Structures are given as C-alpha cells and as structure tokens.
Structure 1
Amino acid sequence: MKKKKITKLQFLKNARKHSLALKNNKKINQLRFKLYAKSDVHNWCYQHFWLGEPILQTPEDIIKMQDIIFKEKPEIIIEIGVAWGGMLLFYDTLARSLPIKKIIGLDIFMPKDLKNRLNSKISNKIKLIKGSSIDEKIFAKISKIRKNYKKCLIHLDSDHTQEHVLNELNLYDKTLVKGDIVIVGDTIINYIPENKIRIREWNRNNNPKTALDIFIKKNKKYKLLKELSNNLLLSNNIKSHIKKIK
C-alpha cells in the first residue's frame, strides 16, 4: 500500500499530540529518570563534544537549546558556567545562521589553556568574563552589555545549590525584560538519587529546581514553559525553562 503523504501542518499537529501523550505516560516518566540515574553514574552527559571541546549537556538538551534559540531569536546569550567551553562554541556556531549578536561566557575558573583553545575557535561575538555570577560588579558589567541588545537568553549552569541559583535568579531579574528567556540548568537533580561517585553540595532537597520553584511562586512576572519538557527523555533540564512575561 502506498504511504499517504501529509502536509507539514498535519505533521506538526501529530507531533504535538504525541508530545502530550509522551508527557502523560507515567511508565515512560519512571523509566527516563531511572535510565538517567543509571547513566549518570558513568558521567554520561560529560561524554559529548562540540568542535572538540566537552559540552557537558545531553544530546537532547543541545537540540532543544537550538530549537529555543531559533524560535525566540535572542540577540544576546549569557552562559553562566563555561566549564570546557563547548556550549560557547555551540552558540557561536548557531550565530552564523541566527541573529545572535553577542555571547557572554562567565565562570569563576577560566584557566589560560582554556582561553587559548577557545580563542583559536571562536568569533569576536564571544566575550569571556572571569568572576562570580552573583558578584555585583560582575553583574553590573554584564547588565551594561545586555542593555545594548533587544532580547536575551540566560543559561544558569554554575553552582547548583538552591541558595546560589535563587540569588542568580533574583539578581539577573533586574536586567531582564519582557520576552527574555532563562534556562535553569540541571533541574534533573531534583528527580534522581544523589550520585555517590561525583559528590556535590546539591541534592534532591537543595538544587536548581527547588530554587526555581521558590522564584516562580514569588514572581508572577515569569511563566514556566512546561511544554518544552514534554518530549525530553534524557535531559538535564526538566521543567527548567522560564520566560519573562511582564
């Protein structure tokens, strides 16, 4: 039997229907967190690279990030937590096709060899800043740059304790405007058992998701974009995307 062709509109309608069904499938939800927890023992999200540098994201989150950037079209992206620089290179790659005009990478630890490797691969759109994301002087510097651009996307991916993430959310709210997007990284911590091999200060009761829940409850200026998590299976960023609506 010849396969019936469908329109793109029908395809998108079917995709949304299946995405909702996926979100509501309790068995799949249980399995995804169980599989993530098992793979996390082997640092699975640390095994992916962009232009030769570790990206420290799952492949699903990388695809989801480009989808968000394509639809929202931020002119400036602020990556808080540079690590090995893979995400900065990813944003810089997207900037060749999308209207991204500035990319800021901020971290408290930025060794010379990292800067040297990145400088040989990045464009002049990227600015590296060394310092704490909650340092008022650093914030003032970033805020001054941010004001030169229409729309902003911030990815919080540094210290994952509730206190630190909540401080970041409250601080960067001061420079965000209606339409800006914030992605609170590693909310997955809230859904899986603590990794006994990679010991950290954060856990199920003290993590980015608990910080985000507190922030959203007190700030009606933001909306949680729940639908962005509907089709995520192995993701660091479950229910972590918010948009400033006021």
Structure 2
Amino acid sequence: MDPIEQFRTERVAAIDGYGRDGDFQALSNQWREASMAKRYVYNFDWLGRPIIQYPQDILAMQELIWATRPDLVIETGIAHGGSVIMSASLLAMLDMCDAIEAGVSFDPGRSKRKVIGIDIDIRAHNRAAIESHPMASRIQMFEGSSIDPDIVAQVRQASVGYSRVMVCLDSMHTHAHVLAELEAYAPMVTAGCYCVVFDTLVEDMPAGFFDDRPWDVGDNPKTAVHEYLKSHPEFEIDRSVQNKLMVTVAPDGFLKRL
C-alpha cells in the first residue's frame, strides 16, 4: 500500500475506534465540563483577536476549509472577531495556494473569496479592531438579528455569485433561534460543504450549567439540529470530525451537505 494512503487508513481506523470507546469519551467529556467551568475557551487569539473556541475546533475548521475550499463563509455571531478573521485568513491562504498551483502571481485584490459575519450587536471597539485588521477587506459585516428577514435577505443578496458556501452558526443558542438560523442559512450551503453548528454541547452538560443564559438541556443547538435533520435529508452529521477531536463544543454539529 502507498505509505500516505496507509497512514490515512490507520488514522481513520483509530478515529472510528474513538467513537466506540466509552471510557475515552467519558474522560473527554469530563475534561470538557471542567474546562468550560473555567472559561478555558476564552484564552486564545487568532491573528491578534480573541476567538473563544477550543484549539481542537479551530484546527477542525482549518481542516474543513482546506478540504472543501469554499469561496464564501457565512458566520452568525462575531463577538471579538477572531472567528471571522480566522476564516478570512484561511480563504486568503486558499487564494495563495491556488495561485502557486496555477503558476501565476498572487494578487489578493483579484480574489472574491470573503466572509460574511452577522451579529445583533457589533460593539464599537470590536468593529474598529476588525475593520483595521489586515484581513478586513475580506470581511463583510451585518448588524442585526441573524433571523431577521431583512438581514437574511441582505445576506442572500450578498451571497449571489458564490459557488462554494460554508455556514457557521454561533450566536443565540436557544432551540428556536438555531432552528430558525438553520432554516435561513443551511440552504445556502453547497453540496460537499458544511454547516457547522456550535455549542451543541449544551445538551450534554448538566442541567443548569449555563445558569446565566436562556439555553439549557432540552433547549439548545443540538436539539435544533436533530429537529432540522428530520425534514432535511440533504444534510448528515459527520461524526468523524467530533470523534477525531474528542473535545469539541460541537458534537453532532458538523453537518455535511450531500
């Protein structure tokens, strides 16, 4: 067997085994609960901006963007801007690699790859930091509720002409809100690309863990995902991603469009 293919085969087998390893799963979930209680995800930046994600999930997003090569990433939830800047920088990397493979000069001004970020409240200091960042030219922001029909219409209009689209949902984490986001934005995802629904872990945490938030066990992104999938067979949960990570905020949240 080709050694590269052999490595991939062995890795796939190991990841599949993690998904069946109850002890490993329990240990990972125990660490996840402890780390969430200590706000561990607040400790990391991407290119200078707080990203508020596990390093495992950051790496997973890099892998998915490289594998699916989107030309548009739509994100709900901007916060400090780390995630939209990460997506923008990865799209820039794709452009550079495309230029190298084609044997032409890299001209960032010619690319149309971009990120659309939506947030109900883009605070002035965060907006200023994002707009002054080197990746700013690749980022378009909309302020308002991600499920407001006017915002959805504006995002759809801004998405015209893009052939490979990825969506990331990371704003309000109640069942009703996430389900409405899925209905609005998941149809924009193109075949072979992903809709990533963050913070599905709420369903797996102890009841009342997020006592200062309106979401809880039974009312969260994972319950919305499972409800959405009942009537949308064009998507499937790619559990190989969560099995590989073991610690993720998005169990059952990596949805691949078939």
Q: Do these two structures clear the TM 0.5 threshold for a shared fold by scoring above it?
A: yes
1:227 aligns with 2:231: no
User: 1:98, CA displacement in angstroms?
Assistant: 1.0
Corresponding position of 2:46: 50
The answer to whether the Cα contact below 8 Å between 1:187 and 1:238 also exists between their aligned partners in 2 is: yes
The answer to whether the Cα contact below 8 Å between 1:88 and 1:105 also exists between their aligned partners in 2 is: yes
**CA offsets 1:160-180 (integer angstroms, 9 cap, x no match):** 000100011112244444334
**CA offsets 1:33-52 (integer angstroms, 9 cap, x no match):** 11111111111111111122
Corresponding position of 2:72: 76
Corresponding position of 1:91: 87
Distance 1:72 1:133 in 2: 24
1:187 aligns with 2:196: no
The answer to whether the Cα contact below 8 Å between 2:166 and 2:190 also exists between their aligned partners in 1 is: no
- Unaligned runs of 5+ residues in structure 2 are 96-111
Letter in 2 for 1:47: N
Distance 1:178 1:219 in 2: 13
- SS of 2:137's equivalent in the other structure is coil
Corresponding position of 1:101: 113
Corresponding residue to 1:114 among 115, 126, 137: 126
1:125 aligns with 2:138: yes
TM-score using structure 1 length: 0.92
1:214 aligns with 2:227: yes
RMSD of equivalent CA atoms? 1.7
Letter in 1 for 2:117: G
Distance 2:51 2:189 in 1: 26
Shift in alpha-carbon separation, 1:196–1:181, aligned structure 2, 3 A:
closer
Distance 2:46 2:145 in 1: 25
Q: Which has the higher helix share?
A: 2
Mean Cα deviation higher: 168-177 or 38-47? 168-177
Report how many aligned residue pairs link the two structures: 240
- SS of 2:206's equivalent in the other structure is coil
TM-score using structure 2 length: 0.88
The answer to whether the Cα contact below 8 Å between 1:232 and 1:238 also exists between their aligned partners in 2 is: no
User: 1:9, CA displacement in angstroms?
Assistant: 1.2
Distance 2:82 2:127 in 1: 12
Identity value in percent: 28
- SS of 2:116's equivalent in the other structure is strand
- Unaligned runs of 5+ residues in structure 1 are 1-5
Distance 1:98 1:137 in 2: 31
Corresponding position of 1:237: 250
Corresponding position of 2:158: 145
Shift in alpha-carbon separation, 1:217–1:196, aligned structure 2, 3 A:
closer
Distance 2:210 2:144 in 1: 28
Shift in alpha-carbon separation, 1:11–1:47, aligned structure 2, 3 A:
same
